[in-house]
Chain A
């Protein structure tokens, strides 16, 4: 019976490792210029965690196989140094592993999040609110007008609270429900939340950043593949969270210019 159990453990461990090794449920193909270190880090984490998992399961199976039958007169040997030694050894082994992954991961993360965007990156503002994203392009003047939260009105489609009668910089701002960007152009995304915590996740773009109410956050990225991708909220934000999404369209520069013109006509 114990031998069947030992074999079952090994079979389960190997079966669960197969989809990970084969990348069955892996992230969709990367369409960003910064995604490679993230994917490498992900693979490394999976490999190290996976190998440790397999090793532990095999060890467990061996012990069950070998020691399941009581052997009269034989005493169970202790780990050298007793329980304390075992704990210290495990702590050092796992600790080193976790710290190393953290250190290398932080390096990959910092190379994306802690570097400033290039000065000619295209600014786009995104506002998250229950349960939709809205985007704002600065228009021909390149300036975003100030926000007046008291003017926010869904009845007038003034989602950002712009005062287009008084603020010169707001007059040409373009507010959209879809985020279109030109391919191979760096985007500087300025993020704020209208109400509570949300997040901006585009798996293909390897971008995942929370909105924190009261904080103006920003991220920058360059998409290098034309296509339509989904932007989803990954912070449970209420009744309509499951429906909080928008689309990111990566277009050629010409398509983007005509898209922006069409959007300007809708304002």
Chain B
């Protein structure tokens, strides 16, 4: 080291540090050439199972909030043409680079039900739990601690600020409210891009980099199905799934 020129050394170090910071900032953008999509639909073959009605009489607020509709369980929701709602689609094999999601999704408690019933998200993605109800809820997801996800249980009285959380590991986590035992939903934590089917059973997984993948469709009652797809750079692959009613 040239001890006679400390200014020169400091300047060289500064340049090195700036290059490192620049690399960190620019790096993900270089990897993010991920504009391919995987689309398709998920259907249920056979008669949809009977969904029990919900007796909310424990809480008069919930009864009143649902006065104009008959609430029922949402474990299997079949739309027009046999489309299956709330199925989570994600890439279970083939992803090489980690993805970054900046969207903050909302898991709302409305009319003493969860909306959406299934919230899919990336590992580490921040999501918000909100309440639209004028009655107290508690949000109690119960993951398997062996996965690295830590269970929590938080009360949210009317008007309380949103609860912001994220999950460390991929897992399908059941969520419930102990005050209203019928309230039941899912946090579907997966690695990488994901999609949830709409009311007609259609989905689109966006931001998929080119590559060969295994796509998995997960339904809370019927379990998982997989298909292999190839996505060209900026292209679109198709994968349709059909679950068999038990």
Q: Report which A residues bind B (CB closer than 8 A).
A: 129-134, 154-157, 159, 176-178, 238-240, 243, 245-247, 263, 265-267
Contacts and interface: CB of A to CB of B under 8 A. Distances in A.
B52 A267 contact: yes
B73 A240 contact: no
Interface stretch (B14-22, B97-105, B171-179): B171-179
A154 B176 contact: yes
Nearest to B153: A239
Given A155-B174, A239-B153, A266-B52, A247 B138 contact: no
B158 to A, nearest CB: 13
Among A131, A176, A246, max chain B CB count under 10 A is at A131
28 contacts: A129-B181, A130-B178, A131-B179, A132-B58, A154-B182, A155-B184, A155-B220, A156-B52, A156-B73, A157-B182, A159-B181, A177-B56, A177-B57, A177-B58, A178-B55, A178-B57, A178-B58, A238-B178, A239-B138, A240-B138, A243-B136, A246-B58, A247-B57, A247-B58, A265-B53, A266-B53, A266-B54, A267-B53
A243 B136 CA distance: 9
A239 B136 CA distance: 12
A176 B53 CA distance: 11
B75 interface: yes
Contact of A157 (B73, B136, B138, B179): B73
Contacts of A132: 58, 179-181
B155 interface: yes
Interface of B: 52-58, 73, 75, 136, 138, 153, 155, 174, 176, 178-182, 184, 220
B53 A131 contact: no
A131 to B, nearest CB: 5
B59 to A, nearest CB: 8
Contacts of B220: 155
Contacts of A245: 58
Given A155-B174, A240-B138, A240-B179, A266 B184 contact: no
Contacts of B53: 265-267
A131 B177 CA distance: 9
A155 to B, nearest CB: 5
Contacts of B174: 155
B74 to A, nearest CB: 10
Contacts of B155: 239
Among A130, A134, A239, A245, max chain B CB count under 10 A is at A239
A247 B63 CA distance: 13
Contacts of A129: 181
B77 to A, nearest CB: 14
Contacts of B180: 132
A89 B169 CA distance: 72
Nearest to A129: B181
B75 A243 contact: no
B55 A263 contact: yes
Given A132-B58, A239-B153, 9 more contacts: A131-B179, A134-B181, A154-B176, A155-B73, A155-B174, A239-B138, A239-B155, A245-B58, A266-B52
A131 B155 CA distance: 13
A157 B52 CA distance: 8
Contacts of B138: 239-240
A20 to B, nearest CB: 33
Nearest to A267: B52
B57 to A, nearest CB: 4
B182 A266 contact: no
Nearest to A265: B53
A132 B55 CA distance: 12
Contacts of A243: 136, 179
